Structure 1
Amino acid sequence: MDPYFYTEKPKYQLQDIEDASEFYDIIERSSLTHQLSSSRPYIYWTMEIYDKANGIKGGGGLGVLAADTRRVAEKLDVPFVVVTPFYRSESHQKITNLEQEEFSETVSPKDYGFEYIDEVSISSRGFPDASLSIFKKVLGSTQFITISEPNFGKLYEGEGSGDHRLYQEVALGFGGYKALKLLGIKPAVIQLNETATIFAALARLDELCANGMNLYEAIVYVRKHTLYTNHTLLQAAEPEFHRSQFEKLVLPNLKSNAVRCWLMEQFRNDRLRPNLLAIELTEAKNGVSKLHARVANFRDRNNDKVKFHAITNGIDLETWTLPETLQTYHNNNIIDKFGLPTDDFSRQLNLIHSADIRYLKKLGRKELNRVLLKRQDQYNKSIQVPENAILFDFKRRFANYKRPYMPFENPNALRQILINHNAHYILTGKVHQGDVTMYQKLLEVLKLIDQDPVLRERVHYIQDYDEELGRALAIGSDIAINIPIVGLEACGTSWEKDIANLKILISTNDGGVADIQPIACLEVSGKNYEAEVLSLYVNMHKAAAIVKNDQLLEKHIRHQLNNYLPIISGARMMKDYLKFIFPKTQTQPKKEPSVKRIVIQ
């Protein structure tokens, strides 16, 4: 099996930490060594995780984030358990006659070193109990606990409010909770990664009440030990289920009559959105960027707006950064052994010069071309990007709100950019299964490219986007394009990988990029869509000019890193979660200073 990540590790590794208490000390939570343990760990529930090295392939950014969170926890020696499905069938993409087609491959947890534990069952009205196979895999202080069965289906199979989707969520929640009990694991805290995982909290509530605890005392207990992490901006975008679906798939798994009655009281007009249960059963709630936490429009049963705490997503720098670039950060005392920026990282950034950037980007281009040899473009051919060419990229799910089609609105303008700057453009990202509108958009873009000799030579759509390709582009491209409709991107992490790998970022003022105001990159803006398109082309010209000028390149890269390095650190994300979930008990927590935009002269 080909490695999915680099094989050569930096000389100074995050794993060299000898005692986790040192990390807890620096975040003023030294008591965590008593609150977290292998038998009482931090539990992270997620419907998807994108960790191909461990055989689990998710659907996109949410899954990649989950994999990074576990990796960071392992490096920081945090007792951490991921409860997730192991999907036996993973989806892939191919392009035939410029149209996207999907195909599936069968995978097994045993092929990736997972240990079979036992079976647990969940019930549904009118059908035999479903038997779920429990597998686990231990990785340092962390472990996967997965549930799986032949008919479980693919990730997000079926309609969002359909019976099969509800079955998957119930199986993960109730089945995963039974798996924890089977293994003797008692959660110190449960993090619900989106509302699809809410049935884990419901299972815990049911157990407490079935064992004799008063319903309202049990609700208070569950609330205090459960975190709801929201990745969706609009409550109306969440799935909704009918009472009859809950009666068929949820109620048979509840032992407590009090919990059954309470659950049925949550319905309005015989319908219920699971996010309302997440709001009811959690005290701590967070959005995944400052903007997201501020604008997410969710309301509780009383129609009061739900307040979300902001914890911006971060990335595992060791996974996504070119090893030599990461080593440069360590050697220059920019990043410490935990993956956190040092106290004087701003000053130390002055040690990174244009010659360093160009050398590291040359190494990155070599790695990208190595990966591209194994991949296919829209014509089912492999490509190589010339070493001396400037490379733009758009790498993320091919979703309407991310606007992958924007650079192609004026083919003449794009053509001139590519010719004038000796540039190539790589576009990659799958259309979500069943998204008819974006299937058509992708076809239109590929046909437009095909009809223009310059675009056909210089614009490459790379098939079957995955984390290996995403990492290679983060490392080997020069300029990243991130242009979601403002207000619709919760955070995004692709741009964070670009920042870490010394790329020029072109972005709208959205998601995690907007944590810094004004944003510390080339901003796409305008009063309407046409103005934004023009702004994008202007910034593409500007970015190419920066890449070609040593002084401008050095200044711009330092400026981006100075503002965003503290934000993109996965260790910073873990630190923020631990401080939020486990507040100091004897003294009031210090008020965190707001992050301000810093300019390096």
Structure 2
Amino acid sequence: MAAGQPGGLDGSILRCRIAYLSMEIAIQPEMHTYAGGLGVLAGDTARTAADLDLPMVFLTLASHEGYLRQEIDDAGQQIDHPDPWTLADWATPLDAAVAVRIEGRPVWVRPWVHVLAGPGGHKVPILLLDTRLQVNDPADQMITDRLYGGDETMRLKQEMVLGIGGERLLAALGFAIETFHLNEGHAALLAAERLRRYPAGSVVQSSDCLRHDVEQVRSECVFTTHTPVEAGHDRFRYDTSMRLLGNFMELYELQLLAGTENLNMTRLALSLSGFVNGVARAHGATARRMFPGYRIRDITNGIHAGTWAHPAMARLFDEVAPGWRHAPEELVNADQLSDGRIWKAHQEAKAELIAYAAEKTGVLLRADLPLVGYARRMTGYKRLELIFSDLQRLRMIARDQPFQLVMAGKAHPRDTAGKELIRSLHENMRMLSPDLPAAFLGGYDMEVAKRFVSGADVWLNTPLPPLEASGTSGMKAALNGGLNLSVLDGWWAEAWVEGVTGWAITGDDPAGHADALYEKLSRTVLPLYFDNRERWIWMMKEALSKIGSRFNSQQMMRRYASEAYLR
């Protein structure tokens, strides 16, 4: 790094004008700074910023102990372990630190930087915020240890470090940020910290003064909300909040902005952001119903095609769409691929998934039978158990038209219902054996996900509508020739063309979705695979060209740049 620049960052990096804050970012598989889809999206966003030469800097927590290393015991129970990694192997410490006052004492926050370089040499810095410093109280050193770890108090401390500490570090390092993008409400306190920087219009109960200050901050802040599940929005009791925040802001000020009953981080971000969006058309409509009175747009999530395409597929793309990594819209030409070559490439990826499942679980799957993949966070509204609603019916389907099932997903360490779901899935798999070969791959992470989405023939998704925000795993499967079989919610409501890009599990009454799933699987999906391979491969190409060319992070970021960042 060039000498003489603030914080040890070189001048080209300091020209960043957009800051993107996320509690988790999936940067590299070896960097355990993510838990699931929110972090993977943030990582794809950073990789796309590097591809498109966007002047962005990203901030997240160091998360020394990771989120969760999942072990599955012989009874199908999830066993939780820390997932430590070595920060110094992947990032460089910067010569700067700022203090965030928590419970009346200063907590020092130091940034480390990991730099992503795009194909054209554009550098995107990712700052990892670290409180594991000797100067801090031992309890405060642990704030940036475990992602989403601890109780309500620890979570608020983490959000203070990300929002307040992140804003102060950007200033201390010499960044002249014009737009702050809050990826979920975890970083909402950044907007409150920005409000404190405008003393000429300090917040009082006068609506005129409040409007003046809020508009100042709103012109700088973009907020993306991801969760349509009410319980998923962070709320903190005001007695806890004021004890931790101290004199950061008066109670009545926070109540005006974040709600009277508790400190609602989503409400705070909504109040202080000039551009707010959901992450799919359907989710935008859901968010507008949840939060009336706010203007909420929608920008559908996308995936970083260069990251998620299997190498065998990527080689084919290079022939028919040479610029696809920078401009995935060129993948519209993927329907020109020959049937034999696209089938062969997909079978190569499928063989790798089958071999991995055998290595990890001992379950022997077959390359000549359709493979259904399903991997999500293990929580109730995702309804991963839906396919097991009628075991006898499922057994009969599998006996008549053999297929295989591969599943994965983690439950939060404190989610006892999610852990029970994992145990129940294993029990159902055992009960259906040997009629339905099934494997559950523990330790689901970015690397395992790549195997899943590239090797599955069918990608299953059965969330309870309208509780799916977007979902991106199905996009990754389609990029690799997989066909989606999904409830019409989230992104799939936009991408679905029945019998072309995949199939929908339909029905106004969610109670009927299991029956609809069995009908579609037994009467449409499996017969097509066995009886009309030519049509199946045609659908693979249609899904790839129509979904891969549209649902990608390049298109997503071009929309953010034109609609949100350049307001």
Q: Tell me, yes or no, if the aligned pair for 2:496 and 2:504 is still in contact at 8 Å.
A: no
Measured in 1, the distance between the counterparts of 2:157 and 2:518 equals: 46
Measured in 2, the distance between the counterparts of 1:407 and 1:503 equals: 19
2:543 is aligned to 560
The 5 Å alignment of 1:389-538 reads 389-455=369-435, 458-516=437-495, 520-538=501-519
Distance 1:267 1:577, change over 3 A: closer
What one-letter code is carried by the residue in structure 2 that aligns with 1:405? E
Measured in 2, the distance between the counterparts of 1:72 and 1:54 equals: 20
2:72 is aligned to 95
Size of the alignment, in residue pairs? 530
User: Identity, % of aligned pairs?
Assistant: 23
| Cα offset, 1:485, TM superposition | 1.1
CA offsets, 1:411-440, max 9 Å, x none? Answer: 223223334444221111112222222322
| Cα offset, 1:448, TM superposition | 2.6
Measured in 1, the distance between the counterparts of 2:259 and 2:98 equals: 32
**Which stretch shifts more, 105-114 or 212-221?**
212-221
Distance 1:283 1:87, change over 3 A: same
1:311 is aligned to 299
Matched residue of 1:484: which SS?
coil
CA offsets, 1:521-552, max 9 Å, x none? Answer: 21112344453112212222322333332321
Distance 1:449 1:138, change over 3 A: closer
Distance 1:530 1:132, change over 3 A: same
1:578 aligns with 2:558: no
Choose the corresponding residue for 1:50, options 22, 26, 34.
Answer: 26
1:354 aligns with 2:349: no
1:175 aligns with 2:165: yes
The 5 Å alignment of 1:119-518 reads 119-126=97-104, 128-140=105-117, 141-149=123-131, 150-152=141-143, 153-159=145-151, 162-209=152-199, 217-234=212-229, 237-253=232-248, 262-263=253-254, 265-266=256-257, 269-297=260-288, 304-333=292-321, 336-342=324-330, 346=332, 348-369=333-354, 371-372=356-357, 376-377=360-361, 382-455=362-435, 458-516=437-495
CA offsets, 1:149-190, max 9 Å, x none? Answer: 23114222234xx22211110111111112212211121311
Which blocks of at least 5 consecutive residues in structure 2 are unaligned? 1-11, 118-122, 132-140, 204-208
What one-letter code is carried by the residue in structure 2 that aligns with 1:403? R
Q: Tell me, yes or no, if the aligned pair for 1:504 and 1:543 is still in contact at 8 Å.
A: no
Matched residue of 1:398: which SS?
coil
Choose the corresponding residue for 2:521, options 528, 534, 540.
Answer: 540
1:68 aligns with 2:16: no
| Cα offset, 1:237, TM superposition | 4.3
1:77 is aligned to 53
Distance 1:325 1:268, change over 3 A: closer
| Cα offset, 1:450, TM superposition | 2.0
Distance 1:279 1:298, change over 3 A: farther
Which blocks of at least 5 consecutive residues in structure 1 are unaligned? 1-35, 585-601
Distance 1:362 1:518, change over 3 A: closer
| Cα offset, 1:493, TM superposition | 0.5
| Cα offset, 1:516, TM superposition | 4.1
Measured in 2, the distance between the counterparts of 1:113 and 1:68 equals: 19
**Which stretch shifts more, 356-365 or 329-338?**
329-338
Q: Tell me, yes or no, if the aligned pair for 1:315 and 1:569 is still in contact at 8 Å.
A: yes
- Normalising to structure 1: TM-score of the pair? 0.82
What one-letter code is carried by the residue in structure 2 that aligns with 1:578? A
CA offsets, 1:551-595, max 9 Å, x none? Answer: 2113322332344234311110111110112448xxxxxxxxxxx
Measured in 1, the distance between the counterparts of 2:566 and 2:108 equals: 39
Measured in 2, the distance between the counterparts of 1:525 and 1:241 equals: 38
Q: Tell me, yes or no, if the aligned pair for 1:39 and 1:184 is still in contact at 8 Å.
A: no
| Cα offset, 1:235, TM superposition | 5.1
Q: Tell me, yes or no, if the aligned pair for 1:339 and 1:570 is still in contact at 8 Å.
A: no
Distance 1:216 1:106, change over 3 A: same
2:5 is aligned to none
Matched residue of 1:87: which SS?
coil
CA offsets, 1:65-99, max 9 Å, x none? Answer: 01111011112222221110011112111112221
Measured in 1, the distance between the counterparts of 2:338 and 2:528 equals: 14
1:86 is aligned to 62
1:17 is aligned to none
CA RMSD in angstroms, aligned pairs only: 2.7
What one-letter code is carried by the residue in structure 2 that aligns with 1:387? A
| Cα offset, 1:406, TM superposition | 1.0
Q: Tell me, yes or no, if the aligned pair for 1:299 and 1:305 is still in contact at 8 Å.
A: no
Distance 1:54 1:186, change over 3 A: farther
**Which stretch shifts more, 562-571 or 221-230?**
562-571
| Cα offset, 1:350, TM superposition | 3.8
**Which stretch shifts more, 138-147 or 322-331?**
322-331
Matched residue of 1:279: which SS?
helix
Distance 1:516 1:475, change over 3 A: closer
Q: Tell me, yes or no, if the aligned pair for 2:191 and 2:217 is still in contact at 8 Å.
A: yes
Distance 1:582 1:435, change over 3 A: closer
Q: Tell me, yes or no, if the aligned pair for 1:238 and 1:275 is still in contact at 8 Å.
A: yes
Measured in 2, the distance between the counterparts of 1:403 and 1:547 equals: 25
